């Protein structure tokens, strides 16, 4: 897969059209429309209760597991409305998710990563060994755990568990990776290591990153969307937003820390 660059036409990975998300009568996100392109890190920033996590849930139909959550409008993934996927599990295998707090399965480090390939029908130990090593390496974890792959993943440190979660998401061989405030429970050193991992991963896939840290969005995101109170305020090239090329003064106020 060729990395997108400013001199070539960007390929659309996600198209969001008039997306409205509700919980009962409460609107979490109102009529949002924008695009996400292949091989970019797309940042989403905004204060709490702005609709950021709800947006992620709509991308791979996690809303169907959330009581009272309804989604109107269109989410196109590779040109197809996600609601037209008959096999929701096939859709979710192409869209990996990393949640704010590491959620390790009660399995060994090895089996945490090997689970998804096994569910896809891969039985060869040699093939599984290769997948596990590759995914742990891509998550910058293999060198730290290669001598204890049979140990429980839950015994790892918080930062290591978060990287294990990333490795497990990568074992699905996704085309789109969703990260929801991955650094909430991770120390600064580990956060920087994961950020380096994400910079490398965008050569292979597309990343949507929800972050409550505006500086993190500036470091990582090619483009950034600002959500506020369920409204998509604006979308722009990240560095342009941070250097004052904004359409709405609320964006500047948020980036400069006047609220949030």
Is residue 1 predicted with pLDDT exceeding 70?
no
User: Which of 155, 221, 219 is CA-nearest to residue 193?
Assistant: 219
Mean pLDDT, residues 218-224 taken together: 97
Residue pLDDT, tens place only, 10-68: 899 999 999 999 999 999 999 999 999 999 999 999 999 999 999 999 999 988 888 89
Has residue 42 been placed in a domain? yes
Has residue 238 been placed in a domain? yes
Has residue 3 been placed in a domain? no
C-alpha 222: how far from chain center: 14
Number of folded domains that form the chain: 1
Q: What percentage of the chain has pLDDT greater than the value 70?
A: 95
Asked if 98 contacts 169 with a C-beta cutoff of 8 angstroms, the reply is yes
Has residue 2 been placed in a domain? no
Look at residue 8 in the predicted model and tell me its pLDDT.
Answer: 58
pTM metric for this prediction: 0.90
Is residue 238 predicted with pLDDT exceeding 60?
yes
Task: Name 71's bridge partners.
Answer: 21
User: Which of 181, 243, 256 is CA-nearest to residue 211?
Assistant: 181
Mean pLDDT, residues 163-172 taken together: 92
How far, in Å, CA of 236 to CA of 175, rounded?
A: 23
Has residue 5 been placed in a domain? no
How far, in Å, CA of 106 to CA of 112, rounded?
A: 8
Give the range of the structural domain holding residue 49, as residue numbers without chain letter: 12-255
Residues found in the chain: 260
Is residue 100 predicted with pLDDT exceeding 90?
no
How far, in Å, CA of 146 to CA of 166, rounded?
A: 16
Mean pLDDT, residues 215-220 taken together: 96
Is residue 103 predicted with pLDDT exceeding 70?
no
CATH of the domain at 233: 3.40.50.300
């Amino acid at each position: 897969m060729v990395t997108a660059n400013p001199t070539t036409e960007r390929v659309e990975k996600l198209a969001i059209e008039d997306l409205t998300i509700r919980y009962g009568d409460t609107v979490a996100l109102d009529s949002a429309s924008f695009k996400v392109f292949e091989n970019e890190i797309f940042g989403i920033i905004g204060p709490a209760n702005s609709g950021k996590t709800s947006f992620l849930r709509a991308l791979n139909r996690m809303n169907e597991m959330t009581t009272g959550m309804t989604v109107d409008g269109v989410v196109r993934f590779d040109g197809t409305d996600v609601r037209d996927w008959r096999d929701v599990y096939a859709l979710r295998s192409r869209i990996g998710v990393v949640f704010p707090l590491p959620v390790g399965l009660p399995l060994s480090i090895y089996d945490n990563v090997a689970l998804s390939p096994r569910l896809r029908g891969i039985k060869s130990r040699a093939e599984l060994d290769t997948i596990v090593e590759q995914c742990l390496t891509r998550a910058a974890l293999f060198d730290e755990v290669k001598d204890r792959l049979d140990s429980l993943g839950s015994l790892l440190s918080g930062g290591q568990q978060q990287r294990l979660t990333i490795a497990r998401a990568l074992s699905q061989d996704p085309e789109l990776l969703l990260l929801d405030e991955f650094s909430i429970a991770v120390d600064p050193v580990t956060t920087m290591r994961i950020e380096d991992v994400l910079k490398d991963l965008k050569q292979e896939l597309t990343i949507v990153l929800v972050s409550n840290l505006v500086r993190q969005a500036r470091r990582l995101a090619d483009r950034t969307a600002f959500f506020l109170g369920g409204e998509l305020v604006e979308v722009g090239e990240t560095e342009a937003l941070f250097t004052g090329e904004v359409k709405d003064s609320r964006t500047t106020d948020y980036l400069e820390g006047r609220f949030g």
